[in-house]
Every structure is written in structure tokens, then in C-alpha cells.
């Protein structure tokens, strides 16, 4: 477990500058304590270290560089307290309890991933914190929001993600670029299970023939048997509802096998810059979860600042949504004029927000504006499927694995 007051590295330099020149006195400033628990080790650590932690640290650096959050006319800098949940729901619950009862933080950043958000939601509700789940994809969020009115679900529904993937395949089929045969696999975690449950009927309703399907555990290491079995079924398209480790593993084996499909989709981490780095020309045409419009107003500048402050490139999906969730929190705190959690939750329910993702609101505690499908095109992961956005790009067929 690590306590991080953001006084190290590039982000620390920005805060130090704000303390010296922004009119804040380090000794006398009252801080807002922000707690965060997410994977730094375990199967989801790779994804969390790309999507979650850098975006959180960037937001803290940005807030402190401008003197802190306006709370009733007083600028209050943010102190970040970090814990590693080790990709364990049990550990995440312990961390949340420690943040609430020992550290006595003012607010908590929602955990990383669908499963960890759902696992910790009852405890976060018990302590009355707003939960802005920026990395959870699933169905039934309306029911969860009714059960835990402090919770807000931002990244989208499994049904929308799965149906939009199928919609992309339909577009490619209508253009004569793929046929009807599809292989579909999923990781046996909340994310993959729900997407498979939504994806199969959507594929069948669209007239696709599922020629191969399989599920595998989160700890799966060897993906050769899965790709070999899928290849033997002769699919025209491959869908993998996968998490980061398996996204890379499935792709690596597809390249080795030279899997001949006109559409290749894998899930979380396809949007990571490291995916392009690992696969080079072979990434061209690969479809995956998420996406953004990288040319949208303010997005290029935000991505450049992300790189400058954190030393890492933002992904092309949930990095920006994670940052946007904290922008919403900041705007709600300022509108409430206090650190009262109930007052802030009320503002989150009723306000319109200006974010790096554009104008957003959380009516009904469930965001209805999100990206669903992206595709690597000319070295950039472009959004080709979305709900509530109209600046999507046209999908193209996968043309081999680049030699």
C-alpha cells in the first residue's frame, strides 16, 4: 500500500509550482483528501496502470496547478492517497474501509474494472461516498443505481457494446467484406460474461452463424488452443470479449496462426498505445472496445498534457472517461459549495458537466453518451461505434496481419 501526496516527479513539480506561485501556502492550506484503490499488481494491473492511475494523477496535478478546487470561495488543493487492491475484490473492500475509517478521506475514486466496482459498491454506499464508475461496462446499472443512489455508471452497457460490435460486422457484411461465420470467445469475468450474454443473441438476430464459441478464466496464459480451434471452424470474423492480458495473448496467437478473417475484434486494451507498439502494422484494422474521436475539440491538447505530466500516453478510451469522471466530481463540489458528500451526490444527479469527453450529464445515474467500438486506422484508434456521439468513423475490413 502506497500513500502518495503527489510531490514526486513531473506531477509533483506542477504542484510545487502551484504552491509557490499560485497563492497557496503549503503549511497552512486545507486539503481535500482523495482516496483511490485500484490494481497495481494482479491480472488487471496492466490495464489499471494505463487507464486508471495516470488519469487520476493528471487530474490531481491539473487541479493543484490552478490552486485547488473552489469550495465555497476557498481554493483547496487535493491530496491523493493510493492503495493497491491486487485485482482482488476482498482487498479492494479492505482498502475502501481503510480509506473511509482510518484515512478519513473526503472522496473516493471509483475502482478499476466492472467486477471491482460492483464488489465495492455496497461499502462505498454504506459510507456515503459518490461512486463515479468510469471503467465499468455492464447491464442492469439502472437497478444498481436504484439500490445504491450514490453510484453513477459512466462507461456504457454490455448490451450497447455487444450490439454495436454486431452493427459494425453488419456494415462490413453489407459491403461484401465479410461473410456470416463468426467465432466468439470471452473471459470468464463479469465484463466478458455479460458481453457474451448480450453478444450471442445479437449475432443470431443479425443472421450470423456462430461456428465456434469458448470461455476461458481470467488467469488464462496460453491462447494458442483457442485460436487454433477458432481457425479450424473457418470463421469470417473473430470476436474476443477480453481483458488486457488476453487481448494481447489472443492477438499474438492470431498473428502466429495468420488467422484469416475480415474482422478481428478484441476487448479491453485494444485501445492502448502499447497495443500498437506490440503489433505494429498487424494492428491495422483490428477492432476493439471503446474508442474516441482523437480530433475532437480539446482532445489533442489533453492527450499531450497527459503525456507531459504522467510520462505515459493516454489510451483511446477509458483514460479520458476516468479523467472526465473527476472533472464531474470537481464541478459538483464547486456547485455544492462544500465537501458534504450528500450535497455533492445531489449535484451529480442534476447538473450538466463540461468535460474532456464533451458535454455530459448523469440523469438517472447512468451515462447515455459513450463510445463502444474503435478500430486501428493508420496508426490511430478511431471510434467507429458509439451511443450519443455522431462523429464516428467508417469501419474497414481487416486485410491480413502485415506480413
Three-state secondary structure of 51-64:
HCHHHHHHHHHHHH
CB 191 within 8 A of CB 137: yes
CATH number at residue 242: 3.40.50.2300
Sign of the torsion formed by the C-alpha atoms of 67, 73, 74 and 77: negative
190 pLDDT band, cuts 50/70/90, is confident
Among 167, 60, 158, which Cα is nearest to 105's?
60
Domain with 18 in it: 9-156+296-370
Do 20 and 90 sit in the same domain of this protein? yes
φ, ψ at 212 (rounded to 5°) = -155, 135
Residue 57 contacts residue 10 (beta carbons within 8 Å): no
User: 61 with 147, same domain?
Assistant: yes
Q: Residue 131's beta-bridge partner residues?
A: 151
pLDDT tens by residue, 117-176: 999 999 999 999 999 999 998 899 999 999 999 999 999 999 999 999 999 999 999 999
* Any domain includes 397: no
One domain, residues 290 and 327: no
Task: Give me the helix-helix angle, 53-65 and 299-310, nearest 10°.
Answer: 100
Number of domains comprising the chain: 2
Q: How far is it, in rounded angstroms, from Cα 84 to Cα 9? A: 20
Spatial distance between the Cα atoms of 304 and 312, rounded to a whole number of angstroms: 10
What whole-number percentage of the chain has pLDDT above 90?
A: 89
Same domain, 383 and 244: yes
Could you give the C-alpha distances from 269 to 207, 272, 318, in angstroms and in order?
29, 5, 10
- Whether residues 269 and 120 fall in one domain: no
Task: Report the SS3 class of residue 76.
Answer: strand
Based on the domain organization, do 26 and 173 belong to the same domain? no
Quick one: what percent of the chain has pLDDT higher than 70? 93
Maximum distance among all Cα pairs of the chain, rounded to whole angstroms: 68
pLDDT of 10 strictly over 70: no
Examine the domain organization and report whether 184 and 233 are in the same domain: yes
pLDDT digits (tens, 9 = 90+) for 299-317: 999 999 999 999 999 999 9
Residues 308 and 222 in one domain: no
Amino acid at each position: 500500500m502506497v500513500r502518495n501526496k503527489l510531490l514526486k516527479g513531473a506531477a509533483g513539480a506542477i504542484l510545487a509550482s502551484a504552491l509557490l506561485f499560485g497563492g497557496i501556502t503549503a503549511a497552512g492550506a486545507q486539503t481535500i483528501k482523495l482516496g483511490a484503490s485500484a490494481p497495481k499488481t494482479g491480472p488487471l494491473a496492466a490495464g489499471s496502470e494505463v487507464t486508471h492511475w495516470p488519469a487520476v494523477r493528471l487530474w490531481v496535478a491539473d487541479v493543484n496547478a490552478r490552486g485547488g478546487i473552489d469550495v465555497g470561495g476557498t481554493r483547496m488543493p487535493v491530496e491523493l492517497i493510493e492503495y493497491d487492491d491486487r485485482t482482488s475484490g476482498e482487498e479492494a473492500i479492505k482498502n475502501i474501509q481503510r480509506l473511509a475509517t482510518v484515512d478519513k478521506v473526503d472522496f473516493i475514486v471509483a475502482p478499476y474494472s466492472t467486477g471491482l466496482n460492483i464488489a465495492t459498491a455496497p461499502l462505498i454506499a454504506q459510507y456515503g461516498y459518490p461512486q463515479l464508475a468510469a471503467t465499468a461496462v455492464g447491464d442492469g446499472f439502472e437497478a444498481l443505481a436504484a439500490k445504491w443512489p450514490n453510484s453513477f455508471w459512466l462507461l456504457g452497457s454490455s448490451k450497447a457494446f455487444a450490439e454495436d460490435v454486431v452493427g459494425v460486422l453488419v456494415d462490413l457484411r453489407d459491403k461484401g467484406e465479410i461473410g456470416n461465420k463468426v467465432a466468439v470467445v470471452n473471459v470468464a469475468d463479469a465484463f466478458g460474461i455479460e458481453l457474451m450474454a448480450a453478444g450471442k443473441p445479437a449475432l443470431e438476430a443479425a443472421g450470423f452463424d456462430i461456428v465456434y464459441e469458448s470461455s476461458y478464466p481470467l488467469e488464462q496464459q496460453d491462447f494458442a488452443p483457442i485460436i487454433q480451434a477458432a481457425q479450424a471452424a473457418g470463421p469470417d470474423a473473430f470476436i474476443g470479449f477480453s481483458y488486457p492480458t488476453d487481448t494481447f495473448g489472443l492477438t499474438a496467437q492470431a498473428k502466429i496462426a495468420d488467422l484469416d478473417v475480415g474482422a478481428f475484434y478484441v476487448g479491453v486494451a485494444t485501445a492502448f498505445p502499447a497495443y500498437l507498439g506490440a503489433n505494429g502494422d498487424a494492428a491495422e484494422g483490428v477492432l476493439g472496445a471503446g474508442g474516441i474521436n482523437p480530433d475532437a475539440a480539446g482532445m489533442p491538447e489533453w492527450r499531450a498534457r497527459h503525456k507531459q505530466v504522467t510520462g505515459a500516453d493516454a489510451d483511446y478510451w477509458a483514460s479520458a472517461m476516468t479523467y472526465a469522471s473527476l472533472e464531474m466530481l470537481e464541478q459538483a463540489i464547486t456547485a455544492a459549495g462544500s465537501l458534504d458528500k450528500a450535497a455533492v451526490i445531489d449535484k451529480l444527479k442534476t447538473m450538466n458537466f463540461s468535460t474532456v469527453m464533451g458535454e455530459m450529464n448523469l440523469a438517472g445515474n447512468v451515462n447515455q453518451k459513450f463510445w463502444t467500438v474503435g478500430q486501428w486506422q493508420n496508426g490511430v484508434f478511431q471510434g467507429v461505434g458509439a451511443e450519443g456521439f455522431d462523429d464516428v468513423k467508417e469501419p474497414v475490413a481487416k486485410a491480413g496481419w502485415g506480413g
